[in-house]
Amino acid sequence: MTHADNDRLLTIISEYLTFTPAAIQAEDVRALAAECSCSPNEAYIALLASRCNLDIAKPDDARLYREYFPRMICQHDPAVYEADAYFQAVKPGISAKAGVDLVYERIEPMELFIADDFHQDDAGRILPQLGWFDRAFAFPAIREDGLVWMTVTPNEINTIRPAVRESRSKVLTYGLGLGYYAFHCLLKKDVTSVTVVEKNPAVIEVFTKHLLPFFPRKEDLHIIQADAFEYAENVMPGEGFHTVFTDLWHDVADGIPLYQRMKALEVPGPRYLYWIEKTLKFYME
């Protein structure tokens, strides 16, 4: 039963996030909260269940609602993320370079978003960690050929922070993005250097020109233009890295094969960390 519920829940939420993530309106949340004397988050959860076509008069729907929805959806405060050291320091302008655009995107008020790695309870229920804001939240993003590929959203912040905490000494990361992981590693006294391997020269150029000027300890940041898998196989084993963090994928869809490929290249010695590894493993299992 739990496995079937997990599958159904993930299908429902994936469809909502893909097609109608901003379907809930602020006035509807306020009206329902007032009518039911409940919190805005409780009202939002009920409205989301309705938008997902759950009928709590049906036992299966009622169970899914009761056992999943209140445990996976939470109102977040955008000010918490705006207070992040990266957001406070890194304030680039927009730019375009060879199909790579540095822009600002927004999470709209009431828009549902992925907020963290999946959680799993003792009964085996997989609980996506989802959030919403009561006001708009702007964040930097890189578009490659019109597709938003790299961002600094609540999901990236919440899923990268644990990797930063575990990183120390000589650090290597595959994938430059907007440099969020590298920035926070460079703030740590127990990190001596950060080496970034990035394949796309346009991404490196945009980063170097528009983001790097805001970074601490620039002298300890080394960017290498190379293919991550070739570097992992032929160069990394002899470089004495303590921590290796891989962030090469956009989401689970493209992440699983890349994760498996990089895992196969591990050698004894370094501490290996992978972006959204918990979520990747849930889908693999």
Q: What angle do CA 41, 42, 47 make, to 5 degrees?
A: 95
Q: How many CB atoms lie within 10 A of CB 51?
A: 15
Token output for 203: 């991404």
pLDDT tens series, the chain, 285 aa: 799 999 999 999 999 999 999 999 999 999 999 999 999 999 999 999 999 999 999 999 999 999 999 999 999 999 999 999 999 999 998 888 778 999 999 999 999 999 999 999 999 999 999 999 999 999 999 998 888 989 999 999 999 999 999 999 999 999 999 999 999 999 999 999 999 999 999 999 999 999 999 999 999 999 999 999 999 999 999 999 999 999 999 999 899 999 999 999 999 999 999 999 999 998 998
Q: What are the pLDDT digits (tens) for 195-207?
A: 999 999 999 999 9
Sign of the torsion angle spanned by Cα atoms 28, 29, 34, 35: positive
DSSP string, 219-253: GGEEEEES-HHHHHHHTGGGS--SEEEE---SSHH
Token output for 222: 């080394």
Token output for 141: 């993003």
CA distance 170 to 132: 37
Using alpha carbons, select from 228, 227, 284 the residue that is nearest to residue 253: 284
Report the run of H or E that residue 166 belongs to, with start and end.
Answer: helix 154-166
Using alpha carbons, select from 232, 234, 225 the residue that is nearest to residue 199: 225
Q: What is the pTM of this model?
A: 0.95
Contact criterion met (CB below 8 Å) for 256 and 284: yes
Residue 79: CA count within 13 A, CB half-sphere: 1
Token output for 20: 């109608």
Contact criterion met (CB below 8 Å) for 76 and 35: no
Q: Which residues contact 165 (CB under 8 A, 6 or more apart)?
A: none
CA distance 41 to 220: 43
Q: Which residues contact 145 (CB under 8 A, 6 or more apart)?
A: 99
